[in-house]
């Protein structure tokens, strides 16, 4: 029975580690939003950050399984129980088998609970990421639309200025050409009168 409590304690520790990893991601929301604003592709950046968090959670679970003293101690106890079972009589072995099956069943149940919790948290994280991606997409679209409107407005204003200057220049050239024609005409009449 003592081994069962240690197994449950180890599983609880594992679950707590996974929750901690999710709660204390690599970047704060504020830092992530700044990175998204600076990014050329905010959706890609957000997706990559989500993958980093998933990788970190998997690494934490793997490290716990490989380095946890509680887990190693539990495995050692199971090995001892197995060795003791070899030395016991058939009746004691049957009792031990029954206890081991009970522990295995409880461990499976605890693992199933852990899996359900992890799945639920992963689903929640996915929903949050999807919300953030959608919000980022809306922001990018809104900014792009505003930039397009501004550029169109500036282009229209510039076109009007150029058209106005061209019209003014055309009038000035026409006026000067007419004046030059009159002067030339007068000069031709003068030169014809002298001859």
Q: How far apart are the first and last CA of the chain?
A: 138
In this structure, the number of other CB atoms found within 10 A of the CB of residue 25 comes to 17
Q: Where are the domains of the chain?
A: 2-156
* pLDDT tens digits, 129-173: 889 889 888 998 999 899 999 999 999 999 999 999 989 988 998
CA distances, 60 to each of 110, 118, 152 (Å): 19, 13, 52
Output the pTM of the full model: 0.34
Q: Which of 11, 125, 25, 149 is nearest to 71 (CA)?
A: 11
Contact 131, 31 (CB under 8 A): no
- Name the pLDDT band for 51 (thresholds 50, 70, 90): low
Q: Which of 181, 3, 15, 2 is nearest to 114 (CA)?
A: 15
């Amino acid at each position: 029975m003592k081994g069962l409590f240690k197994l449950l304690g180890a599983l609880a520790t594992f679950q707590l580690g996974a929750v901690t990893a999710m709660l204390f991601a690599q970047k704060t929301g504020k830092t992530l939003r700044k990175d998204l604003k600076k990014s050329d592709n905010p959706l890609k950046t957000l997706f990559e950050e989500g993958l980093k968090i998933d990788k970190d959670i998997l690494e934490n679970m793997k490290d716990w399984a490989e380095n946890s003293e509680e887990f190693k101690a539990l495995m050692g106890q199971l090995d001892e129980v197995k060795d003791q079972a070899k030395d016991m009589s058939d009746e004691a072995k049957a009792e031990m088998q029954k206890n081991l099956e009970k522990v295995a069943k409880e461990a499976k149940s605890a693992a199933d609970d852990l899996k359900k919790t992890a799945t639920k948290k992963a689903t929640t994280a996915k929903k949050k990421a999807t919300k953030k991606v959608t919000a980022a997409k809306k922001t990018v679209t809104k900014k792009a639309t505003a930039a397009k409107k501004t550029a169109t407005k500036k282009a229209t204003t510039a076109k009007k200025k150029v058209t106005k200057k061209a019209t003014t220049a055309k009038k000035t050239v026409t006026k000067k050409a007419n004046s030059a024609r009159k002067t030339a005409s007068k000069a031709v009449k003068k030169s014809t009168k002298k001859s």
